[in-house]
Structure 1
Amino acid sequence: MKHVAVILSGCGVYDGAEIHESVLTLLHLEQQHATYQCFAPDTMQHHVINHVTGEASNEQRNVLIEAARIARGQIKPLSALQVDDFDAVILPGGFGAAKNLSDFAFAGAKAEVLPELKQHLSRFIAAKKPLGFICIAPAMIPRLFDSRVSLTIGMDQDTADHITTMGGQHINCRVQDIVVDHAAKVVSTPAYMLAQSVLEASSGIEKLVHAVLELAEAKTASHHGASPSPSGSL
């Protein structure tokens, strides 16, 4: 049974983690017989958006406390993440990924990843453990790798251009599909960058979870001296 770290960025599509994407990730992990632990940085959100009007409010909210709403309180601060305890990591999207986990929403191609998060993800990469990125979260990938990694945020050309400038290899992708960079052990899917319904978002996230767990299983088999089974083109 694989154990997966899920990193959230608050609660709400416009200023935190996209709730449907987050819940679907947890659902598909359980359906595929994996366990998980949610984490979030114990920092203040960039801002708070009224999800009825779309306008910014004067409220101040904490990313960890807000993310705990999605995790039903079963969440830990990002500082408590021990990479050795997990087989993989998945980051759902939502604007929180581009506002709280990085500054991609504001800096575009000059964006940087939250230093604490980058440190943890770099350890997953060094340990050759798979990473999954959903929706806008893949925009962080070029800032995590020295080499060019294949990824997708769907078909938004402006966002894809920023990713290319950052050094990523963007691949256009339909909502129900995923992009897998086997060498980097990175999986991405568009979800609500394209999805028009929960069902559409679910289709790609289910495939992403399966691919991440498959890469984790291949790593385990390789570690024990067995030859990993070849996976088909995804």
Structure 2
Amino acid sequence: MLKLSSSAVRTAQFFAKTQPLNAALHTGAAACGAKVAVVLSGCGVFDGTEIHEASAVLVHLSRGGAEVQMFAPDVSQMHVIDHGKGQLAQESRNVLSESARIARGNITDLAKLSVTNHDAIIFPGGFGAAKNLSTFAVDGPDCKVNKDVERVVKDFHKAGKPIGLCCISPVLAAKLLPGVEVTVGHEEEEGGKWPYAGTAQAIKALGAKHCVKEVTEAHVDQKNKVVTSPAFMCETKVHLIFDGIGAMVSNILKLSGK
């Protein structure tokens, strides 16, 4: 058995005792801006939320003075990917538990999310949006959407509250909101710069309008109050992805009126 030093034990005890305080600080309870729900889909680009995208969303929301609450569905992941090997792992994981890694433990079951308590909602990308929040990765335009994801997207839309999505997650809006305008970047691969460009055709097949945008840009569907940005649909430098997500968050906060 591993034996911890006395200093390591004291450190562990300190964090155990202060965890409730840390969680309270993490909520941004003192913020007076927009109240924004952020929906995660696990932890890791190939089977959950893309971590850099989630971090970018949270940084820009924090800078914009928003109060953030994170959510994820309490369901099993479609599968688990060994991110080092790029192979399926013989194990199962829970989306809510994995998302808690990004949320530093402060996360709520998506089933408890109510539109009345928030001014806007944002879905970072990562393949979890196409595997755990929906079946798009397997079924394409014929996909099904998690029942709570469908509920909250339609509730926010009906209430006229803004919805932000980036990377692959705009397919959720395309599936659920007929005629919505979204972007996943460009519609041609362009030598590998846009490796997932085929997604634009699937979006069109769903009856949505795809709008070509650069990675640093966001598209604003003013009618539906849906804001989207390409993020890691593009193979580029991470700071450019950070800037594009910033454009998405900025427009979400403007549309919230807070």
The normalised TM-score by structure 1 is 0.91
Partner of 1:48: 80
Q: Does 1:133 align with 2:173?
A: no
**C-alpha distance 195-214 of structure 1, shift in aligned 2 (>3 A):** farther
Choose from 122, 131, 145 the match for 2:154: 122
Any idea what SS the aligned residue of 1:173 has?
Answer: coil
Partner of 1:38: 70
Any idea what SS the aligned residue of 2:81 has?
Answer: coil
Partner of 1:143: 175
Q: State the 4+ residue runs in structure 1 displaced beyond 4 angstroms.
A: none
Q: 1: distance between equivalents of 2:144 and 2:175? A: 7
Partner of 1:14: 46
Partner of 1:163: 203
Q: 1: distance between equivalents of 2:225 and 2:60? A: 19
| Paired residue total | 217
Larger Rg, first or second structure (1 or 2): 2
User: Which AA in structure 2 matches 1:192?
Assistant: F
Which consecutive residues of structure 2, in runs of 5 or more, have no partner in the other structure?
Answer: 1-32, 188-196
Shift of residue 195, structure 1, vs aligned partner: 4.4
Partner of 2:213: 173
Partner of 1:153: 184
Q: Over aligned residue pairs, what C-alpha RMSD do you find? A: 1.0
User: Which AA in structure 2 matches 1:215?
Assistant: L
Please give the per-residue CA displacement for 1:100-127, whole angstroms capped at 9, x wherever unaligned: 0011111111112111210111111111
Shift of residue 198, structure 1, vs aligned partner: 2.0
8 Å Cα contact 2:174/2:182 also seen in 1? no
Any idea what SS the aligned residue of 1:133 has?
Answer: strand
Choose from 115, 127, 141 the match for 1:95: 127
Q: For structure 1, which segment, 156-165 or 166-175, has the greater mean C-alpha deviation from structure 2 after superposition? A: 156-165
User: Which AA in structure 2 matches 1:188?
Assistant: T
8 Å Cα contact 1:175/1:195 also seen in 2? no
Please give the per-residue CA displacement for 1:36-71, whole angstroms capped at 9, x wherever unaligned: 000000000000000001000111000000000000
Q: 2: distance between equivalents of 1:56 and 1:82? A: 35
Matches within 5 A, 1:38-77: 38-77=70-109
Partner of 2:138: 106
Which consecutive residues of structure 1, in runs of 5 or more, have no partner in the other structure?
Answer: 221-234
Shift of residue 183, structure 1, vs aligned partner: 0.3
Q: 2: distance between equivalents of 1:213 and 1:207? A: 10
Q: 2: distance between equivalents of 1:27 and 1:139? A: 24
